[in-house]
Amino acid sequence: MQDLNERFKKLMLVSAAGVLLAVIGLSFGIVGMCVEQPADIQREIDELSRQREELQQAEIEDEKALASMKAQLTKLERRRTSVHDQMTKLQQEVRILEAQKEGRKVTYLLKLELRQEHITFDLDKHIKDAMNAVTFSIAVDKDFYDDVSVGDALLEKFRSGSAWVEGSFGNWKITVKGKQRKVR
């Protein structure tokens, strides 16, 4: 029986050694599969680099397309504003013509700004001129109303008296700041 126990122990020892060798062999096999060759690694690096470059190029193209779309949107918004302004003017013109057709009178008003402008490097005088500007409205006939535009200077007169007496160089300026038609 002891002989049987000894054999059994040897058999177990041999079996354990065989299992151990199998595990070691399997481990080396797994490690061998996991360890890539330098050529394989370089191929993966090259492929990832190519994909990155493609993505960067796509991003650049997308940014260009987005910029183009923004420019088109801005252009369309300006056009829409222009069309809206034209439509508003035409609607106002229709109201004026309808009122005239009904026999109502149209008053043509100009909003004018009267200001003094000094020829100087003194910032205080320029600020004073801007603060002392006077804005008022005046009724004019249709022909004069049609002849002037917003921003037109109606008068720019040098103040010669102030130049001779006080040494102050400047002028009076009357500018059209707005136009309006009213139906009575």
Model confidence pLDDT, tens digit, residues 35-59: 568 888 899 999 999 999 999 999 9
Residue 146 sits in the same domain as residue 111: yes
Residue 56 sits in the same domain as residue 75: yes
Q: How far apart are CA 72 and CA 68, in angstroms?
A: 6
For the chain, what is the domain count?
2
Strand order in the sheet with 170-183: 134-140, 106-118, 170-183, 153-158
pTM reported for the whole predicted model: 0.44
What is the Cα 59 distance to its own chain's centre?
Answer: 20
Q: Are 180 and 126 in contact (CB under 8 A)?
A: no
> Along the chain (184 residues), what's the average pLDDT of each consecutive run of 10 residues?
69 72 70 68 91 92 93 95 95 89 90 80 72 86 92 70 54 88 83
Phi-psi region of 139 (alpha: psi -120 to 50; beta: other; left: phi over 0): beta
Which of 80, 104, 128 is where one domain is finished? 104
Q: What is the mean pLDDT of the chain?
A: 81
Residue 129 sits in the same domain as residue 98: no
Task: Identify whether 116 is part of a domain.
Answer: yes
Quote the strand ranges of 44-144, DSSP E. 106-118, 134-140
Task: Identify whether 93 is part of a domain.
Answer: yes
Model confidence pLDDT, tens digit, residues 84-108: 999 999 998 898 889 888 988 889 9
